[in-house]
Amino acid sequence: MKLLDSHAHLDFPQFKEDRASVLEEMRSQQVAAVNVGADLRSSRASVELARENLHILAACGVHPHDAKGFSPQVEEELEELLRAERAVAVGECGLDFYRDLSPRDVQARVFRSQLRLARRLELPVILHERAAWPEFVRVLSEEGPVGGVVHAFSGDASAARQVLDLGLHIGIGGPLTYPKNAALREAVRSIPLERLLVETDAPYLPPQAFRGKRNDPLKVRLVLSELAGIRRMPPDELAEITWNNACRLFTVRPRF
Ligand SMILES: [Zn+2]
């Protein structure tokens, strides 16, 4: 059963001690991943990981937390990185009004710049949103159609509808397994199968059984099985569908 974790941060320091063995374990268990950049440094690291590992794809972008560090020079280097053969998406980018680590107007401007960059390069986007839903939807509608995925989606059925109407995919991660997330489990029932992706956001957001521990891409299997249970489908069938969805969106097929 091949799986593609559509959102991981294997370059982060939490993997410093055992990165090589996690990557090897992923290869042997047929788990691929998109390693997602959050700033220039991690975007470079993503491209490097993808160059060295055929089961890793790279995304390059600036997280809303780091929007204040964005500049024309940063954008230029991102564009350069995104020309790499296995760089498949712009991201993660978006809005985070929960932690507000960059001013909100700066976040919105940098978000728009990256949506335009994605359009120019004909790449999908990997989107981050927290506590900024109305503004997030407004920016996306104003900027016009772009392919991509709303990562770690945690909204209800009406928010899912808005994402689908924007033509975007929905990334489902560990929070699907949290007892309090009944609205998310309900929302997931209504999402067309061809718009679903699975992810971990490793090292963050571990599934319920691993709360408080470091997450890793192998645990995407737990997300998949929770999702299969909710959709009343055989896990291997759903695995194949989400694998194909990811390959279609990112256009590069990972290999093991
Ligand atoms: Zn992330």
Question: Helical H runs in the chain?
Answer: 19-28, 40-52, 72-81, 104-121, 133-143, 157-165, 182-189, 220-231, 235-250
For residue 157, what pLDDT is reported?
Answer: 96
Give the DSSP letter of residue 213. S
Residues of the chain above pLDDT 70, percent = 100
**36 within a domain of the structure (yes/no):** yes
Dihedrals phi, psi of 54, to nearest 5 degrees = -70, -15
Compute the mean pLDDT over every residue in the chain, rounded to the nearest whole number: 97
What are the pLDDT digits (tens) for 66-124? 999 999 999 999 999 999 999 999 999 999 999 999 999 999 999 999 999 999 999 99
**96 within a domain of the structure (yes/no):** yes
Quote the pTM value. Answer: 0.97
For residue 176, what pLDDT is reported?
Answer: 98
What are the pLDDT digits (tens) for 175-193? 999 999 999 999 999 999 9
CA–centroid distance, residue 178 to ligand 1 (Å): 18
Task: Give the chain's domain count.
Answer: 1
C-alpha separations of 233 from 160, 193, 240 in Å: 20, 11, 12
Do 114 and 134 contact (CB within 8 A), yes or no? Answer: no
Q: Provide the residue range defining the domain that includes 157.
A: 3-250
**91 within a domain of the structure (yes/no):** yes
**235 within a domain of the structure (yes/no):** yes
Residues of the chain above pLDDT 90, percent = 100
End-to-end CA distance of the chain: 12
CA–centroid distance, residue 83 to ligand 1 (Å): 21
CA–centroid distance, residue 36 to ligand 1 (Å): 7
CA–centroid distance, residue 80 to ligand 1 (Å): 21
Do 22 and 49 contact (CB within 8 A), yes or no? Answer: no
For residue 170, what pLDDT is reported?
Answer: 98
Strand partners for 129: 95
C-alpha separations of 80 from 35, 74, 94, 234 in Å: 17, 10, 21, 42
Residue among 115, 157, 119 nearest 136 (CA): 115
Do 222 and 239 contact (CB within 8 A), yes or no? Answer: no
**92 within a domain of the structure (yes/no):** yes
For residue 21, what pLDDT is reported?
Answer: 98
Strand partners for 35: 8, 58
CATH of the domain at 198: 3.20.20.140
Report the chain's C-alpha Rg in angstroms.
Answer: 17
CA–centroid distance, residue 205 to ligand 1 (Å): 10
CA–centroid distance, residue 115 to ligand 1 (Å): 17
For residue 25, what pLDDT is reported?
Answer: 98
Residue 227 contacts by C-beta under 8 Å, 6 or more apart in sequence?
172, 176, 188, 196, 198, 238
What are the pLDDT digits (tens) for 126-161? 999 999 999 999 999 999 999 999 999 999 999 999
**255 within a domain of the structure (yes/no):** no
**256 within a domain of the structure (yes/no):** no
What are the pLDDT digits (tens) for 12-32? 999 999 999 999 999 999 999
Residue 137 contacts by C-beta under 8 Å, 6 or more apart in sequence?
162, 166
Label residue 201 by pLDDT band (50, 70, 90). very high
